[in-house]
């Protein structure tokens, strides 16, 4: 059936300015790392994307290697985009990335100009797009000069293939260097995409070679922040409290960095149980509280969620209803996470 977007889609979602740029992102964005590959149910993916957009989620995050198999999330997104979202293109922020291994040989991995330019051309073809809104370097490359990688990002913007560029998983000091080079080139870094959740808090740590946490660098430079895996791939929800459900990511052995059963340890689950009790007291699900805990920080532009079912969109998105924490609640959370 032809998709017509919900006319009330902008009524509830809030939009935050991305650093000091002109672009606003929804407080909750949707990523297609898992659940959108050829091994997944195509119609389920379509339903998730429709429901997300119907609720004001205007930002969909992809990468060349999402699937599995690599490339298939972009291909499936391209089909759904053509059927459902083409007429809404100007209401959407679509991102892609390159930086992890994508094709054999020396030009299909890391951060060379050759790889980044060719990879984005492939991504645009798979998605059937003329341009992406944000193109990221997916991870730092210790061997390619940073100047070359950043020059490639600048070129891509000048070619009109991306409107903005970002970096992902760069540590505080290397992020500051990349941001500086991009500024000199005249293509400001829009956004950084780091892993950040109650369980993974390195972005807060000021004990860095440059004496600044990543979050402080981003604030100082006016760069946005979109944390990925904010639910620690599902660990920070109530789903693993009583074992490992068959339909969970941990049980599915998807590879490509997906959480495995060995991450569901007693130590982790003990913490999750205590966090869940606190969430109940706040009248939230644990997923909502874990996302709200990230959104409490104004340096965060958007929280980048993944979902395997439409109901998870409905549940998680309610995190925007309450992301205020009392100092006592924050203390309790820190105690639990110790
Ligand atoms: P999350 O931490 O949000 O984990 C998503 C998983 O959590 C879902 O698949 C689902 O697990 C579970 N879940 C989500 N909502 C709920 C809910 N309300 N109740 C119960 N369970 C829930 O994020 P991801 O790890 O998926 O990452 C999100 C996005 O971040 C990716 O799609 C990608 O765009 C980006 N990313 C970027 C990376 C980078 O290097 N830049 C690396 C990794 C991700 P289940 O499947 O078991 O139901």
Note whether residue 246 is domain-resident.
yes
Task: Provide the residue range defining the domain that includes 177.
Answer: 16-337
Q: What is the DSSP string of 86-103?
A: GGGGGG-EEEEEE-S--S
User: How many angstroms does the Cα of residue 234 sit away from the middle of ligand 1?
Assistant: 6
Parallel, antiparallel, or unpaired for β 189-193 and 28-31? unpaired
> What torsion, rounded to 10 degrees, do the Cα atoms 209, 214, 220, 224 define?
150
**CA quadruple 169, 220, 29, 272: dihedral sign:** positive
Mutate to test the pocket of ligand 1, among 33, 230, 260 (most ligand atoms within 8 A of CB): 33
CATH number at residue 277: 3.20.20.100
How much distance in Å is there from the Cα of 30 to the middle of ligand 1? Answer: 9
Residue 327 lies in a domain: yes
- Ligand 1: atom nearest CA of 258 is 25
Asked if residue 5 is part of any domain, the answer here is no
Mutation test of ligand 1: which of 93, 305, 320 has the most ligand atoms closer than 8 Å to its C-beta? 305
CA distance 155 to 237: 41
Is 261 inside any structural domain? yes
The answer to whether position 229 is within a domain reads: yes
Ligand 1, from 234, 236, 257: best to mutate by most atoms within 8 Å of Cβ?
234
For 258-262, the CB contacts below 8 A with 24+ separation are 258/34, 258/233, 259/232, 259/233, 259/234, 259/235
- Diameter of the chain by CA atoms? 55
pLDDT of residue 255: 86
Query: Do you know the residue count of the chain?
Result: 338
How much distance in Å is there from the Cα of 136 to the middle of ligand 1? 19
Please check whether residue 9 lies inside any domain of the structure.
no
Asked, for residue 289, whether it belongs to a domain, the answer is yes
* Coil, strand or helix at 143: coil
Asked if residues 114 and 107 have their Cβ atoms less than 8 Å apart, the reply is yes
E strands of 44-188, at which residues?
A: 59-61, 93-98, 132-137, 162-168
Per-residue tens of pLDDT for the chain, all 338 residues: 799 999 999 999 999 999 999 999 999 999 999 999 999 999 999 999 999 999 999 999 999 999 999 999 999 999 999 999 999 999 999 999 999 999 999 999 999 999 999 999 999 999 999 999 999 999 999 999 999 999 999 999 999 999 999 999 999 999 999 999 999 999 999 999 999 999 999 999 999 999 999 999 999 999 999 999 999 999 999 999 999 999 999 999 888 899 999 999 999 999 999 999 999 999 999 999 999 999 999 999 999 999 999 999 999 999 999 999 999 999 999 999 99
Residue to mutate, 312, 313, 316, 321, ligand 1, most ligand atoms under 8 Å from C-beta: 312
- The Å distance, Cα 235 to ligand 1 centre, comes to 10
Going through the chain in order, the beta strands assigned E by DSSP cover: 15-17, 24-26, 28-31, 59-61, 93-98, 132-137, 162-168, 189-193, 224-225, 303-305
Rounded CA gap, 278 and 275, in Å? Answer: 5
Ligand 1, atom 3: closest residue by C-alpha: 305
Distance from the alpha carbon of residue 215 to the mean position of ligand 1, in angstroms = 21
For ligand 1, residues with CB inside 6 Å are 31-35, 61, 138, 168-169, 193, 228-234, 237, 239, 248-249, 287, 304-308, 312, 315-316
Structure tokens at 57: 């989620």
- Whether 292 is covered by a domain: the verdict is yes
Under DSSP, is residue 162 helix (H, G, I), strand (E, B) or coil? strand
Domain count, the chain: 1
């Amino acid at each position: 059936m032809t998709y017509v977007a919900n006319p009330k889609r902008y009524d509830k979602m809030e939009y935050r300015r991305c650093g000091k740029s002109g672009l606003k992102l929804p407080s909750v964005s949707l990523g297609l790392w898992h659940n959108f590959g050829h091994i997944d149910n195509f119609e389920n993916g379509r339903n998730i994307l429709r429901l997300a957009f119907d609720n004001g989620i205007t930002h969909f995050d992809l990468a060349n290697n999402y699937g599995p198999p690599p490339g298939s999330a972009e291909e499936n997104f391209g089909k759904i985009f053509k059927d459902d979202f083409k007429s809404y293109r100007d209401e959407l922020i679509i991102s892609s990335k390159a930086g992890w291994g994508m094709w054999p040989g020396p030009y299909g991995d890391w951060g060379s100009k050759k790889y980044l330019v060719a990879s984005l051309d492939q991504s645009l073809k798979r998605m059937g797009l003329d341009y992406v809104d944000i193109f990221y370097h997916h991870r730092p490359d210790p061997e390619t000069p940073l100047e070359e990688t950043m020059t490639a990002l600048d070129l891509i913007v000048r070619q009109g293939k991306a409107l903005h560029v970002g970096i992902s998983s760069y540590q505080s000091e290397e992020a500051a260097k990349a941001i500086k080079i991009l500024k000199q080139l005249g293509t400001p870094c829009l956004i950084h995409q780091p892993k950040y959740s109650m369980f993974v808090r390195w972005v807060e740590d000021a004990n860095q070679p440059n004496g600044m946490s990543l979050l402080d660098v981003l604030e100082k430079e006016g760069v946005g922040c979109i944390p990925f895996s904010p639910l620690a791939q599902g660990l920070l929800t109530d789903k693993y409290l009583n074992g490992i459900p068959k339909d969970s990511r941990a049980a599915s052995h998807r590879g490509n960095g997906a959480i495995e059963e060995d991450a569901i340890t007693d130590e982790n689950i003990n913490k999750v149980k205590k966090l869940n009790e606190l969430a109940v007291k706040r009248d939230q699900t644990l997923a909502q509280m874990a996302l709200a805990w990230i959104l409490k920080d104004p340096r965060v532009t958007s929280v980048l969620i993944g979902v395997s079912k439409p109901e998870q969109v409905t549940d998680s998105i309610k995190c925007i209803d309450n992301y205020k924490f009392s100092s006592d609640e924050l203390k309790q959370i820190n105690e639990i996470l110790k």
